[in-house]
Amino acid sequence: MSFSRVLSAAMCGMEVIPVQVEADVSNGLPLFHMVGYLGAEVREAEERVRTAIQNACAALPPKRMVINLSPGNVRKRGTSYDLPIALAVLAAAGLLQQECLEQVMAVGELGLDGSVQGIPGVLAIAAKAKEQQVRCLVVPSANEREARLVEGVCVCGIKSLGEIFRQLLQGETIGCIKKTDTLFEREVVAGQGDFADISGQSGMKRAAEIAVAGRHNLLMVGPPGSGKSMIAKRIPTIFPALTREESLRITKVYSVAGMIKSEQPLVMERPFREVNQTVTKAALLGGGAWPKPGELTLASGGVLFLDELAEFKRSVLEVLRQPLEEREVRIVRNHGVIIYPADVMLVAAMNPCPCGYFSDLNKCTCTISQIRQYQGKISYPFLGRMDICAEVQGVAYEDLEREELAESSAAIRRRIEKARKRQMDRAKNGEFVYNAELSGERLLRDCELGREEKRMMRQAYDRFSLNARTYHKVLKVARTIADLEGEERIGIAHLQEALVYRSMDKKYWGRV
């Protein structure tokens, strides 16, 4: 047979596009020509594939070989096409039977000795293989456990091109395994540290509990050494445990980013990404000539922590505004729009002034202009994206000397799980969203106020210089507080506490 076809896949952001690898072998001057809108890495596959076939299988006949990767309007990048190109060439040259490759999807990079190397994005490719109802997915053995995380997909992990060549040459069916990996059933230790390690700061712990219960963005402002970073790094310990669906979504992101460990492919802990002040827009959102997931996407499903917020470039912070609202990152390039998830809880911490002791006249050494310049690094629109703005006080000596332990993360997590359960119960006839994501009709229904509550909010709207966005954020935070208290309706006390978390804006920035 002079023509052969093998199914493969192209990664475009988080999306997987099926690719047909076609090979034609005919008489003529010896030639190995590849077409199909190829990147430099794919064009280099010519030498890798020819040498790998020669070292692992058999010598190719001196004929004209044309390889096409379709569709032609999708840019092909990476080295994952090496294996399907080799299989298509072998079948087109008559060294394999095309019937053996029907309904088979293959991905993998080839070494010059024919070894098959691991590639990124296999979990997403396995999900697409299931959608395409392929008979078998052939992947590098290093990616086999990752591919097996998708239920109902026949997976064949191979170490070398020669291995699969000999198997198909003997007329055998590709050795597939239709099995779901049981990695998720293993016990996992969630996070590091415990809220019991934190002395005092009961008010800040309460704010963190509310933030996690409704997945609200949290800003902490306080003097150096008051425990802001310590609290932030323990927030993952009070998150409810990951479900398998959440774990797979997070793993898919890390798979596309090439950050999966072959011995433990499933991510079973919520991401906690702490970003340095020198971060660029591309590193934060994702980007480059051919975009890769940034820190915002890598934190999806968990926490993105920005410490010393005022030290970040203002232009970098401003690009977060739209992704925080839409829960996704859109990167526009000439070849199309790439969308990455940004389903994060943003936690930020900062000092109130350059020296860190604003409002304490005995310690603060900053001038009024220095304070305004420092606080002005955080724009009002960015501040409006923060649901909860909490002030962290210095720790009293008595709290440090107290012998009894504070409340543990496990105890706080149990209350949060109950609050999350109430959110789920309200959404049983519709799609579940966290309180922080309520909008439209759901917001009006779930955050309905009584007559007295409306009167109080009317007064607060002017007193705290609220706008439409911050008004709705107050309602959402109050809804979460009511859930933690086990109340069906939002009450005066819930609104008052929610407004406390906006009063700090007026204290430091003068308005929201």
Q: 299: burial class by Cβ within 10 Å (0-12, 13-18, 19+)?
A: buried
- Beta-bridge mates of residue 139: 157
pLDDT band at 498 (very low <50, low <70, confident <90, very high): very high
* 156 three-class SS: strand
Structure confidence at residue 511 (pLDDT):
43
pLDDT band of residue 236 (cuts 50, 70, 90) is: very high
**Confidence grade of residue 507 (pLDDT, cut at 50, 70, 90):** low
DSSP conformation letters of 193-215:
S-GGGS-S-HHHHHHHHHHHHHT
**Is it the case that residue 13 has pLDDT exceeding 90?**
no
* Residue of 275, 356, 284, 291 whose CA lies nearest to 315: 284
- Indicate if the pLDDT at residue 394 is higher than 60: yes
8 within 8 A of 19, measured Cβ to Cβ: yes
Q: What is the DSSP letter of 169?
A: H
195-509: same fold as 3-178?
A: no
Give residue 66's pLDDT band: very low, low, confident or very high (50, 70, 90).
Answer: very high
Mean pLDDT, range 204-215, rounded to an integer: 94
- Between 357 and 173, the more confident residue is 357
Task: Check pLDDT > 60 for residue 176.
Answer: no
CB 360 within 8 A of CB 347: no
- Has residue 326 got a pLDDT over 60? yes
Longest dimension (CA), the chain: 90
Q: What is the bridge-based pairing of β-strands 303-306 and 272-275? A: parallel
Give the chain's mean pLDDT.
88
Q: State the pLDDT at residue 398.
A: 67
Please, which residues have CB within 8 angstroms of residue 99's CB and are 6 or more apart in sequence?
A: none
**Identity of the amino acid at 247:** S
In the chain, pLDDT over 90 holds for what percent of residues? 55
Residue 139's SS3 state is strand
As a CATH number, domain 195-509 is 3.40.50.300
- Which one, of 472, 448, 464, 469, lies nearest residue 500 by Cα? 464
pLDDT of residue 403: 60
- For residues 93 and 334, which has the higher predicted lDDT (pLDDT)? 93
Give the pLDDT band of residue 512 (cuts 50, 70, 90): very low
Instruction: Judge if the upstream peptide bond of residue 240 is cis by omega within 30 degrees of 0.
Output: no
Amino acid at 222: G
Calculate the CA dihedral of residues 148, 154, 155, 160 and round it to 10 degrees.
180
Strands 345-350 and 218-221, bridge-based pairing: parallel
Q: Is the pLDDT of residue 91 over 50?
A: yes
DSSP 91: H
- 135-160 residues labelled b (16+ CB within 10 A) or e (exposed): ebbbbbbbbbbbbbbbeebbbbbbeb
SS3 435: helix
pLDDT of residue 191: 47
Query: Is the model's pLDDT at 188 over the cut of 80?
Result: no
- Is the separation of the CB atoms in 399 and 200 below 8 Å? yes
Q: What is the pLDDT of residue 367?
A: 87
Angle at 260 between CA 349 and CA 248, to 5 degrees: 80
For residues 260 and 140, the answer to whether their CB atoms sit within 8 Å is no
Q: Could you tell me where the DSSP H helices lie in 60-201?
A: 82-92, 122-132, 144-147, 161-169
Please give the C-alpha separations between residue 286 and each of 100, 293, 296, 310, in angstroms, as whole numbers: 40, 5, 8, 22
Please count the helices (runs of H) and the strands (runs of E) in the chain.
21, 19
Looking at 3.40.50.720, 2.60.40.10, 3.10.20.30, 3.30.230.10, the CATH number of the domain 3-178 comes to 3.30.230.10
Q: Are 399 and 197 in contact (CB under 8 A)?
A: no
Given a cut of 80, is residue 147 above it in pLDDT? yes
What's the distance, CA 206 to chain centroid? 26
Report the half-sphere exposure of 486 (CA within 13 A, side-chain side). Answer: 3
Give the model's confidence band at 61: pLDDT under 50 very low, under 70 low, under 90 confident, else very high: confident
- Region 507-511: mean pLDDT is 62
pLDDT at 186: 46
Predicted confidence at residue 391, as pLDDT, reads 86
Q: Which residues contact 492 (CB under 8 A, 6 or more apart)?
A: 452, 453, 456
Name the nearest CA neighbour of 49 among 22, 87, 75. Answer: 87
Residue 6's pLDDT band, with cuts at 50, 70 and 90, is: very high
Query: What is residue 399's predicted lDDT score, i.e. its pLDDT?
Result: 66
pLDDT digits 0-9 by tens, 156-167: 999 999 988 888
Structure tokens belonging to residue 73: 């309007």
3-state secondary structure 272-312: EEEECCCCCHHHHHEECCCCEECHHHHCCCCEEEECCHHHC
Q: Where are the domains of the chain?
A: 3-178, 195-509
Q: Which amino acid is at 57?
A: C
177 and 72 Cβ atoms separated by less than 8 Å: no
Note the pLDDT of residue 167: 81
pLDDT in tens, 396-425: 666 666 666 778 899 999 999 999 999 988
